[in-house]
Amino acid sequence: MTADRDLARLGVGLVSSYTEAARAAEELLRRRYHWADAAEAETLVALGGDGFMLHTLHDMLDLGHPRPVFGMNRGTVGFLMNEWRMDRLAERIAGAKPIHVAPLIMKATCVDGNTHSHAAINEVSLLRETRNTAKIEVSVNGRVALPELVADGVLVATPAGSTAYNLSAHGPILPLQARMLALTPISPFRPRRWSGAILPDDTRIHFRVLDAGQRSVSAVADQFEVRDVATVEVSLDRSASLTLLFDPEHALDERIAMEQFAT
């Protein structure tokens, strides 16, 4: 086997989602290259879409074993992924631009007193569970900023996640280098003119659900949902930095910046 095909020597492992396209791509790559065991690899190639990339990053956080990930899109949107190509993979990985992202930590306390903690790479969202609008008190660094937000919900997004649900909720796009978080209401009713806030990323944001018994609210950290929450605290965890690898001509920071000009 030629050196450029021996990715195991470089400590590169391969993982893929369960979709047909991703599995087919994995089969082609396993025929083409020799891979390190994914559990022991120093770098991972991930095949799938944005959802699978988030799943891969969450798995690394849960195991306490963060490694650089070079994603290739075999999903739908692929905003967090590189273009799918089989050729010169060792060269692409060696020349990739590293992008570092830090996750949010959501600490949710439920009405029954149980507590849950989850990481979020994109966003933490509070969402109404019933036909009734949610009523939420919003505090910033221990100070009540909004005594009562009446809305379908509210979210906190990282720069990496600012082009996802946050953008759909008309929140701001944050450059990846910005040390900021987006605090964005979801279909707000009161206050009518409040469109959200951009906060320093060392801010602690605390949500208290008002009338939680009648107006149930769930809290979602990326894909992880906690039902019937009473309070939720969100902050950035810089100790758990993650690294995504991108082709320099198609890096995430530039794509996020260009999203500001999308029509």
Binding-site annotation: residue ranges for NAD(+): 50-51, 55, 122-123, 152, 160, 163-168
Both tokens of residue 157?
């997004």
Closest CA to 171 of 158, 182, 181, 187: 182
Active-site annotation holder among 4, 6, 37, 50: 50
Annotated binding-site residues read 50-51, 55, 122-123, 152, 160, 163-168
State which amino acid sits at residue 29: L
Active site residue 202: no
Residue 187's Cβ-side half-sphere holds a number of Cα atoms within 13 Å equal to 9
Radius of gyration of the chain (CA): 20
As a whole number of angstroms, the distance between CA 212 and CA 114 comes to 15
Both tokens of residue 125?
């969202």
The residues assigned a catalytic role are 50
